[in-house]
Structure 1
C-alpha cells in the first residue's frame, strides 16, 4: 500500500503554495519592520551599512519561529477551504475519505515543521540572539570601525580628538578633517586637512591616519615658539583604545540558552532562585509553543469548512486571531512564571490543555456530528450583525437626506 496516494499528493500541493507564501510574507514583513529601526540605530552609531544586514540575518530564526505555526495554519486552512468551496471535499468524502484520513498529509507537514521549529528555537535562535547582541555591543564600542561619527568631535583614546565632515567607504575616504593630538609631555599637534584615510599597520592595536593637503600647528616645550607648517601628506599613528570583551553566551540570559542549557540552569543551585525560575519558565514556553503545532491541523480543518451555501472567510480571520492570542497568552504566562508567582504548569500548560480541549471539540463536531459545523453559529451571528450595520447605515443616510431637503 502506498504511503501517499494521488489524492494525498494533490492535497500536499494545495497546502504547499499558501504555506510557503505565508511563511515568506510574514518573515519579510517582520524584517521590514525592523530594518528601518536598525538603519536608524546604525546611522546614529556611525556604523557601516552592511552591519544592518548581518543583524537582520541574526533576527531571522526568531521571525521564522513565530511565522512557522501561522504558515502551517493558513496553509492547511486555505487548502481545505478551497476544496470545500469547490465541492471537491464533498467528492472525497463521498468516495470514502474520512476527515481523519484526510489529515494524513497535514500531519506530515506538521511533524516536518515541528522538527524545523525545534531546531530553530532549541539551537539556532539562542546562538543568533547572542550574535545579534554581540553586534550591537561591537557597534557601540567601535570594534567595527564605527566609532567615528561624521560632523562630531570624536575622542580616540585620551589624547586625540578628531572631526571629519564626510566619510565614505568605511573610513578609507575622509574629507574636511580636523585633528588635535596632545601628549603628557606637553607637546601639542593641531591640524586641518582637505582629505585623508585610515590605514592598517602590522600592529593590530595601531592605525595610521594619513592626512593630505593641510596645515598644522605644533607646540612643544622644546620649541621656542609655535611652529606652523603646511604639508602635502602627513601620517599620524593612532593607538586603538582597549576594547571591552563581550560577555559569554547564556548563563542568566535565557534567550541565549539552548534547550538542554535551560534545564541545566533551572536545576543548578549555584544560580539564584529568580534565575532558575526564569530558565524553567522559558523552557516550558518553548515546549508549549512546539506542542500546540500538533493541534494546528485539527484547528485548521475545523475552521476551513464553511457552512453549506456559504463562502464566508470568517474561519481565516478566527484562525489568525486564535493563534496570535494564544501566543500572547503564552508570553504572559512565561512572564508570570519567570517571576516565581505561579508554576509554569499552571500559567502555560493549563491554557494549552484548555485550548486543546476547544480544538478537539471543534474537530469532533465537524467530523462526527451529522451536519456539524463548528463556526456555523458564529457565522450566523456575524451575518445578523452585518445586516444590522447595513440597516443602520441606510437609515442614517435617509435621515441626512431628509435634513438636507428640509
Structure 2
C-alpha cells in the first residue's frame, strides 16, 4: 500500500502552490520594507551600497522564521477552501474520508517545516543576527571606509581633516577636495585639488589618496614663509582611524543558539537577570515552533465556509489570530525576561489556551453535524455586508434624484 494515495498527492499539490507563494510574498514584502530603511541608514552613515545587500541577506533567516508559519497556515487554508467551494470536500466526506485523514498531508508539511524552522531559530538566526549587528557597528564606526561624508569636514585622525564637495561613481571619483593635516613636530600642510580617488595599499591601516590638479601649501616653525607647490598628480598617504573590534557573539540572547540558551539558563555563573532573559528567549523560540503543529487544524477549521456561502472571513481571521498570538508571545517573553513571572507560565499558558481554542474549533467542524466554528461571525459579517450595500444603493439613488 502506498504511503500517499492519489487524494493525498492532490491535496499536497493544492497546498504547495499557495504555501510557496505566500512564503515568498511575505519574505519579499518584509525585505522591501527593511531595504528602504537600510538604504536610508547606509546613506546617512555614508556607507557603500553593497553593504545593504549583505545586511538584507542576514535578515532573511529572521523573516523566514516568521513567513514559514504564515505560509503553512495560508497554504493549508486556501487548499481546503478550494476543496470546499468546489464541493470536492463534500464528495470526499461522502466517501467516508474523515477530516483527520485529510489532515495527513498538512501534518507532513507541518513536521517538515517545523524542523526547518527549529534549525533557523535555533542555530541559523543567532549567527545571522550577530553578522547583521557587526555590519551596523562597522558602518557607525567607519571601519568600512564609510566615515567620509560629502560636504562635511571629516576627521580622519587626531590632526587630519578632509572635505569633499562632490562624489560620483559610488565614491570612486571625488572632486572639490580639501585636506589639512598637522604633524607632532608642528609641521602643517593644506592641499586643494580638483579631483582625487582612494587607492588601497599593502598596509590595511593606510590608503593612498591620489590627487590631480591641485595646490599644496606646506608650513613649519623654521619656515620664514609657507612653501606652495602646484601639481598635476600627487599621492597623499592617509592613515585610517583605529577602530575597536566588534564584540564577541553572545552579547545578547538573540545571538545564542538553543543549546547555549539552555546552558545559560541553568548556569550559576550568570546573574539572575541574565538567567531569566536566557530562559525567556529559549521558551519563546520553542513556543513559536510548537504552534506550527496546531496550524493545520486551525486552517481547516477556518477554511470551510457555511453552505451556499463564499465568505473569505476565515482567511482574514486566520491572519489576525496568528499575528495576535505572536504579539502576545513577544509581550510575555519581555515580561518573563524581567524576572517578574516564570517563563513557563508566561509563554506556555497562552499556548495551552490557544491550543484549546483551536481544538474546539476543529472539533466543532469535524465531529458536529453542520458544525461551523465561526458561524456567528459569518452571520454578523453577512448582515454587515448587506447593511453597507443597502446604504450604498440608497446614497447612489439619492444622488441620481438630486442630479
Q: Give, in whole Å, the separation in 2 of the partners of 1:85 and 1:223.
A: 93
Paired residues for 1:155-304 under 5 Å: 155-169=155-169, 171-251=171-251, 253-304=252-303
Q: Structure 1 CA distance, aligned partners of 2:201 and 2:370?
A: 80
**1:203: Cα distance to partner?**
1.8
How far did residue 173 of structure 1 move?
2.2
Give the Cα separation in 2 of the matches to 1:292 and 1:93: 27
**CA distance, structure 1, for counterparts of residue 344 and residue 281 of structure 2:** 12
User: Which residue in the other structure is 2:67 paired with?
Assistant: 67
In 2: Cα distance, 1:171 partner to 1:305 partner: 58
Q: CA deviation at 1:168?
A: 3.6
Q: Secondary structure at the match of 1:280?
A: helix
Deviation at 1:399, TM superposition (A): 7.3
Output one character per residue of 1:2-41: Cα deviation in whole Å (capped at 9) or x when no partner.
1101111111000000000100000010011111111111
For residues 144-159 of structure 1, what are the structure 2 equivalents within 5 Å?
144-159=144-159
1:226-253 deviations in whole A, cap 9, x for unaligned? 11120111121112221111000014x0
User: Given the superposition, is the C-alpha separation of residues 373 and 180 from structure 1 closer, same or farther in structure 2, using an over 3 Å criterion?
Assistant: same
Aligned length, in residue pairs? 403
d(CA) in 2 for partners of 1:202, 1:377: 74
Question: How far has the Cα of 1:339 moved from its partner?
Answer: 1.0
Which residue number corresponds to residue 379 of structure 1? 378
Aligned to 1:104: 104
Q: Over residues 312-346 of structure 1, what are the superposed CA-to-partner deviations in whole Å (9 max), with x where a residue is unaligned?
A: 11110111111111101111111111111111122
Residue 188 and residue 356 in structure 1: after superposition, are their counterparts in 2 closer, same or farther (change >3 A)? same
Q: Matches of 1:256 and 1:57 in 2, distance apart?
A: 16
Task: Give the superposed CA RMSD.
Answer: 1.6
Partners of 1:262 and 1:196 in 2: CA distance: 51
Kindly report which structure 2 residues correspond to 1:28-177, keeping only aligned pairs within 5 A, or say none.
Answer: 28-169=28-169, 171-177=171-177
| Corresponding residue of 1:307 | 306
Q: TM-score, normalised by structure 1?
A: 0.96
Is it true that 1:343 corresponds to 2:342 in the alignment?
Answer: yes
The CA distance in 2 between the partners of 1:389 and 1:96, in whole Å, is 41
Aligned residues of 1:145 and 1:170 also touching (Cα < 8 A): no
2:12 maps to 12
Give ranges in structure 2 of 5+ residues lacking alignment. none
How far apart, CA to CA, are the structure 2 residues paired with 1:242 and 1:126?
Answer: 28
CA deviation after TM superposition for structure 1 residue 348, in Å: 0.9
**Alignment deviations for residues 144-194 of structure 1 (CA, whole Å, 9 cap, x no partner):** 111111111111111211111223455432211110111121111101001
Q: Residue 171 and residue 391 in structure 1: after superposition, are their counterparts in 2 closer, same or farther (change >3 A)?
A: closer
- Alignment partner, residue 330 of structure 1: 329
Provide the rounded CA distance (Å) in 1 between the counterparts of 2:11 and 2:221.
Answer: 87
CA shift, 1:385, in A, is: 2.5
Structure 1 stretch displaced more, 218-227 or 388-397: 388-397
Q: Supply the distance in 2 between the matched residues of 1:54 and 1:356 (Cα, whole angstroms).
A: 39
Q: Which runs of 5+ in 1 are unaligned?
A: none
Q: Say whether the 8 Å CA contact 1:48–1:146 is kept in structure 2.
A: yes
Give the Å deviation of 1:95.
1.9
TM-score normalised by structure 2 residue count? 0.96
Residues of 1 paired with 2:229 and 2:202: CA distance? 29
Q: Is the 8 A contact 1:307 1:373 kept in 2?
A: yes
Deviation at 1:223, TM superposition (A): 1.8
Write out per-residue CA displacement over residues 32-74 of structure 1, whole angstroms, 9 at most, x where no aligned residue: 1111111111011111001001101101111110111111000
Check conservation: 1:180, 1:189, Cα contact below 8 A.
yes
SS of match in other structure, 1:181: strand
Matches of 1:399 and 1:194 in 2, distance apart? 71
